[in-house]
Amino acid sequence: MSNWVRVAPLDEIPKLGARVVRTQAGNNEHVDIGVFRTEDDRIFAINNTCPHKGGPLSQGIVYGDKVACPLHSWKISLGDGKAEEPDVGETACFKTKVEDGIVYLEIKK
């Protein structure tokens, strides 16, 4: 079962930037998801944790459809969450959609 949750109006996510979305995971735990916007207004969502040393990917520099992790500059592809070679690793991806200028994120229950 999955459901779509409202994130924010598109223009509250900067072009070539990201926002952090905090989702509850029960037991007072939470998971942070980075919601990214490319220059051509595509929206991607990936787990906000770099597969290398856990850096917050949402804080990195976004270019093309990639983000460079702010801690050690691993390049993570926003489309599939995979690290650019020769680094190896991946982070989880989430589906997104934009309707009437509002960004939605699919979270599996």
Partner 1 sequence: MQKMKLVVVGNGMAGMRVVEELLKIAPDIYDITVFGDEPYPNYNRIMLSPVLANEQTINDIILNTREWYAENNITLHTSARINKIDRKNRVVYAEDGTSAEYDRLLLATGSKPFMPPIPGKELAGVLGYRDIKDTNDMIEAAKLHKHAVVIGGGLLGLEAANGLKIQGMEVTVVHKNEWLLEKQLDKTAGKMLQKNLEAKGLNFLLKKNTELLIGDGSDAVTGGRVKTVRFTDGLEIPADLVVMAVGIRPNFALAESAGIYCNKGIVVNDTMQTYDPRIYAVGECVAHRGISYGLVAPLFEMAKVCATHLANFGIGIYKGSVTSTKLKVTGIDLFSAGDFAGSHEADDGREEIVLHDAVGGIYKKLVIKNDKIIGGVLYGDTADGSWYFQMLRDGKAIHEIRDSLMFGQDSLGNTGHQGQDKAAAMTNEMEVCGCNGVCKGTIVKAIQDHGLFTIDDVKKQTKAGSSCGSCVGLVEQILASTLGGGYAPPSTSKAVCGCTDKNHEEVRAEIRTHKYLNIPDAMKGMGWRTPNGCATCRPALNYYLLSTWPHEAVDDPQSRFINERVHANIQKDGTYSVIPRMYGGVTTPSQLRKIADVADKYAVPMVKVTGGQRIDLLGVKKEDLVGMWKDLDMPSGYAYAKGIRTVKTCVGSEFCRFGTQNSTQMGIDIEKAFDHMWAPHKVKFAVSGCPRNCAESGIKDVGVIGVDSGWEIYVGGNGGIKTEVAQFLCKVKTSDEVLEYSGAFIQIYREEARYLDRTVHWIERVGLEYVKQRVMEDADGRKAAYERLLYALQGAIEPWGERVQNRENHKEFETITV
x/- map, 42-81, partner 1, by CB under 8 A: -----------xxxx--xxxxxx---x-xxxx-x------
Q: Which is nearer to partner 1, 19 or 95 (CB)?
A: 19
- Give the residue, chosen from 17, 90, 93, 98, that forms a contact with partner 1 under the rule CB under 8 A: 17
Alpha-carbon distance of 70 to 55, in angstroms, equals: 7
Tokens standing for 29? 């735990």
Give 27's contacts (C-beta < 8 A, 6+ positions apart).
none
Q: How many residues bind partner 1 (CB under 8 A)?
A: 38
CB of 90 to partner 1, least distance (A): 18
Q: Which is nearer to partner 1, 72 or 97 (CB)?
A: 72
- Binding residues (CB under 8 A) for partner 1: these are 5-8, 12, 14-17, 19-24, 32, 35, 39-40, 53-56, 59-64, 68, 70-73, 75, 86, 105, 107
